[in-house]
Amino acid sequence: MTARQLQDYPAIAVRPETLDGQLDFKVLFGRSGPVEIEIGSGKGTFLLNQARAFEKTCFLGIEWANKYYRYAVDRLGRWGLQNVRLIRTDAAEFLAEHVPDESVEGFHLYFPDPWPKKRHHKRRFFCTENLAQMARCLKPDGWINIATDHQDYFDQMQQVARQAVQAGQVRIIPFKRPVGAGQGEQVGTNYERKYRKEGRPTYTLALQKQ
Protein backbone atom coordinates (compact mmCIF):
# COMPACT_ATOMS: atom_id res chain seq x y z
CA MET A 1 0.00 0.00 0.00
CA THR A 2 1.46 3.37 -1.04
CA ALA A 3 1.73 5.99 1.71
CA ARG A 4 -0.35 9.10 1.15
CA GLN A 5 1.67 12.02 -0.20
CA LEU A 6 2.08 14.78 2.39
CA GLN A 7 0.91 18.17 1.17
CA ASP A 8 2.45 21.56 1.87
CA TYR A 9 0.18 24.37 3.03
CA PRO A 10 1.87 27.77 2.55
CA ALA A 11 -0.80 29.47 4.65
CA ILE A 12 0.34 27.41 7.64
CA ALA A 13 4.05 26.80 7.02
CA VAL A 14 6.34 29.70 7.99
CA ARG A 15 9.65 29.73 6.12
CA PRO A 16 12.57 30.71 8.42
CA GLU A 17 14.44 32.31 5.53
CA THR A 18 11.64 34.85 5.11
CA LEU A 19 12.01 36.17 8.64
CA ASP A 20 13.87 39.41 9.19
CA GLY A 21 14.08 40.75 12.72
CA GLN A 22 11.25 40.54 15.22
CA LEU A 23 7.88 39.16 14.21
CA ASP A 24 4.64 41.04 14.08
CA PHE A 25 2.19 38.34 15.11
CA LYS A 26 -0.75 40.31 13.76
CA VAL A 27 0.86 40.18 10.31
CA LEU A 28 1.90 36.53 10.68
CA PHE A 29 -1.63 35.37 11.50
CA GLY A 30 -3.51 38.03 9.56
CA ARG A 31 -5.47 38.86 12.69
CA SER A 32 -5.08 40.00 16.27
CA GLY A 33 -5.48 37.77 19.30
CA PRO A 34 -3.53 36.15 22.11
CA VAL A 35 -0.50 34.15 20.96
CA GLU A 36 0.58 30.80 22.38
CA ILE A 37 3.74 28.97 21.27
CA GLU A 38 4.35 25.22 21.40
CA ILE A 39 8.01 24.22 21.42
CA GLY A 40 8.36 20.75 19.92
CA SER A 41 5.05 20.23 18.11
CA GLY A 42 5.67 16.66 16.97
CA LYS A 43 2.83 15.47 14.74
CA GLY A 44 0.59 18.36 15.78
CA THR A 45 -1.85 16.54 18.07
CA PHE A 46 -1.87 19.25 20.73
CA LEU A 47 -2.08 22.08 18.20
CA LEU A 48 -4.97 20.46 16.37
CA ASN A 49 -7.08 19.95 19.47
CA GLN A 50 -6.26 23.27 21.08
CA ALA A 51 -6.66 25.40 17.95
CA ARG A 52 -10.05 23.87 17.21
CA ALA A 53 -11.21 24.57 20.76
CA PHE A 54 -9.86 28.14 21.01
CA GLU A 55 -10.48 29.80 17.67
CA LYS A 56 -9.66 33.30 18.93
CA THR A 57 -6.16 32.27 20.05
CA CYS A 58 -3.23 32.20 17.61
CA PHE A 59 -1.03 29.11 17.96
CA LEU A 60 2.54 28.91 16.66
CA GLY A 61 4.24 25.51 16.66
CA ILE A 62 8.03 25.06 16.45
CA GLU A 63 9.40 21.67 15.37
CA TRP A 64 12.94 20.75 14.34
CA ALA A 65 12.45 17.19 13.05
CA ASN A 66 11.56 17.53 9.38
CA LYS A 67 9.40 14.36 9.17
CA TYR A 68 7.22 15.49 12.08
CA TYR A 69 7.07 19.07 10.82
CA ARG A 70 5.88 17.99 7.36
CA TYR A 71 3.33 15.60 8.87
CA ALA A 72 1.95 18.33 11.16
CA VAL A 73 1.71 20.90 8.33
CA ASP A 74 -0.22 18.40 6.21
CA ARG A 75 -2.47 17.39 9.11
CA LEU A 76 -3.34 20.91 10.24
CA GLY A 77 -3.66 22.14 6.67
CA ARG A 78 -6.24 19.50 5.83
CA TRP A 79 -8.36 20.73 8.72
CA GLY A 80 -8.32 24.23 7.25
CA LEU A 81 -7.40 25.87 10.53
CA GLN A 82 -6.86 29.61 10.29
CA ASN A 83 -5.30 30.19 13.72
CA VAL A 84 -2.23 27.91 13.48
CA ARG A 85 1.24 28.44 12.02
CA LEU A 86 4.19 26.04 12.01
CA ILE A 87 7.89 26.67 11.58
CA ARG A 88 10.85 24.29 11.32
CA THR A 89 13.72 25.95 13.14
CA ASP A 90 15.82 25.93 16.30
CA ALA A 91 13.50 27.08 19.07
CA ALA A 92 16.11 28.86 21.22
CA GLU A 93 17.45 30.88 18.28
CA PHE A 94 13.93 31.66 17.08
CA LEU A 95 12.87 33.08 20.44
CA ALA A 96 16.04 35.14 20.80
CA GLU A 97 15.97 36.59 17.29
CA HIS A 98 12.31 36.86 16.32
CA VAL A 99 9.92 37.01 19.29
CA PRO A 100 9.30 40.51 20.74
CA ASP A 101 9.24 41.33 24.44
CA GLU A 102 5.92 40.69 26.21
CA SER A 103 4.18 39.38 23.09
CA VAL A 104 3.26 35.82 24.10
CA GLU A 105 0.39 34.67 26.30
CA GLY A 106 1.79 31.22 27.04
CA PHE A 107 4.33 28.55 26.11
CA HIS A 108 3.70 24.82 25.82
CA LEU A 109 6.62 22.41 26.26
CA TYR A 110 5.46 18.80 26.16
CA PHE A 111 7.81 15.81 26.25
CA PRO A 112 10.91 17.64 25.00
CA ASP A 113 13.91 15.54 24.00
CA PRO A 114 15.49 14.55 27.36
CA TRP A 115 18.99 13.99 25.93
CA PRO A 116 19.50 11.29 28.59
CA LYS A 117 23.29 10.92 28.30
CA LYS A 118 25.04 13.23 30.75
CA ARG A 119 27.37 14.65 28.10
CA HIS A 120 24.29 15.73 26.12
CA HIS A 121 22.45 17.47 28.99
CA LYS A 122 23.63 20.85 27.68
CA ARG A 123 21.38 20.27 24.65
CA ARG A 124 18.22 20.18 26.75
CA PHE A 125 15.92 23.05 25.87
CA PHE A 126 14.69 23.82 29.37
CA CYS A 127 17.60 25.56 31.05
CA THR A 128 18.26 28.82 32.86
CA GLU A 129 19.01 30.76 29.67
CA ASN A 130 15.95 29.58 27.76
CA LEU A 131 13.64 30.08 30.73
CA ALA A 132 14.85 33.69 30.95
CA GLN A 133 14.24 34.06 27.23
CA MET A 134 10.68 32.72 27.55
CA ALA A 135 10.04 35.03 30.50
CA ARG A 136 11.17 37.98 28.37
CA CYS A 137 8.73 37.00 25.61
CA LEU A 138 5.79 36.51 27.97
CA LYS A 139 3.21 39.16 28.67
CA PRO A 140 2.72 40.11 32.33
CA ASP A 141 1.20 37.07 34.09
CA GLY A 142 1.97 34.93 31.02
CA TRP A 143 2.63 31.27 31.71
CA ILE A 144 4.64 28.19 30.73
CA ASN A 145 3.07 24.70 30.72
CA ILE A 146 5.54 21.78 30.86
CA ALA A 147 5.23 17.99 30.82
CA THR A 148 7.85 15.23 30.63
CA ASP A 149 8.12 11.49 31.24
CA HIS A 150 11.82 11.72 32.14
CA GLN A 151 12.51 11.86 35.89
CA ASP A 152 16.07 13.20 35.63
CA TYR A 153 15.04 15.97 33.21
CA PHE A 154 12.11 16.85 35.47
CA ASP A 155 14.48 17.15 38.43
CA GLN A 156 16.57 19.58 36.38
CA MET A 157 13.43 21.52 35.39
CA GLN A 158 12.43 21.88 39.03
CA GLN A 159 15.90 23.09 39.98
CA VAL A 160 15.92 25.68 37.18
CA ALA A 161 12.39 26.76 38.14
CA ARG A 162 13.31 27.16 41.82
CA GLN A 163 16.22 29.41 40.88
CA ALA A 164 13.91 31.53 38.72
CA VAL A 165 11.38 31.75 41.56
CA GLN A 166 14.10 32.90 43.94
CA ALA A 167 15.22 35.49 41.38
CA GLY A 168 11.66 36.81 41.16
CA GLN A 169 11.23 35.87 37.48
CA VAL A 170 8.37 33.41 37.87
CA ARG A 171 6.12 31.68 40.36
CA ILE A 172 4.84 28.11 40.31
CA ILE A 173 1.15 27.67 39.42
CA PRO A 174 -1.14 24.67 38.80
CA PHE A 175 -0.63 22.84 35.50
CA LYS A 176 -3.31 23.58 32.87
CA ARG A 177 -4.52 20.37 31.20
CA PRO A 178 -5.03 20.89 27.46
CA VAL A 179 -8.46 20.13 26.01
CA GLY A 180 -7.13 17.03 24.23
CA ALA A 181 -6.15 15.29 27.46
CA GLY A 182 -8.32 12.22 28.03
CA GLN A 183 -9.10 10.39 31.24
CA GLY A 184 -5.90 9.75 33.16
CA GLU A 185 -3.86 11.92 30.78
CA GLN A 186 -2.12 15.20 31.51
CA VAL A 187 -1.61 16.42 27.93
CA GLY A 188 -3.07 13.96 25.43
CA THR A 189 -0.18 13.88 22.94
CA ASN A 190 1.01 10.86 20.97
CA TYR A 191 4.10 10.63 23.16
CA GLU A 192 2.13 10.57 26.39
CA ARG A 193 -0.18 7.84 25.09
CA LYS A 194 2.80 5.76 24.04
CA TYR A 195 4.54 6.23 27.38
CA ARG A 196 1.40 5.47 29.38
CA LYS A 197 1.18 2.09 27.66
CA GLU A 198 4.76 1.50 28.79
CA GLY A 199 3.80 2.40 32.35
CA ARG A 200 5.77 5.63 32.48
CA PRO A 201 4.39 8.48 34.61
CA THR A 202 4.00 12.04 33.35
CA TYR A 203 5.55 14.83 35.41
CA THR A 204 4.13 18.34 35.06
CA LEU A 205 5.21 21.85 35.96
CA ALA A 206 3.65 25.24 35.28
CA LEU A 207 5.14 28.69 35.82
CA GLN A 208 3.76 32.22 35.64
CA LYS A 209 5.75 35.37 34.93
CA GLN A 210 6.12 37.64 37.92
170, 141 contact by CB (below 8 A): no
Query: How far, in Å, are 63, 79, 147, 197, 210 from residue 113 at the CA level?
Result: 12, 28, 11, 19, 27
39, 125 contact by CB (below 8 A): yes
Q: Is 113 a catalytic residue?
A: yes
Q: Where are the beta strands (DSSP E) in the chain?
A: 13-14, 35-39, 58-62, 84-87, 104-110, 138-148, 170-173, 203-209
The Cα 147–Cα 39 span in angstroms is 12
Query: DSSP code of 198?
Result: T
Annotated active-site residue in 113, 141, 152, 155: 113
The set of catalytic residues is 113
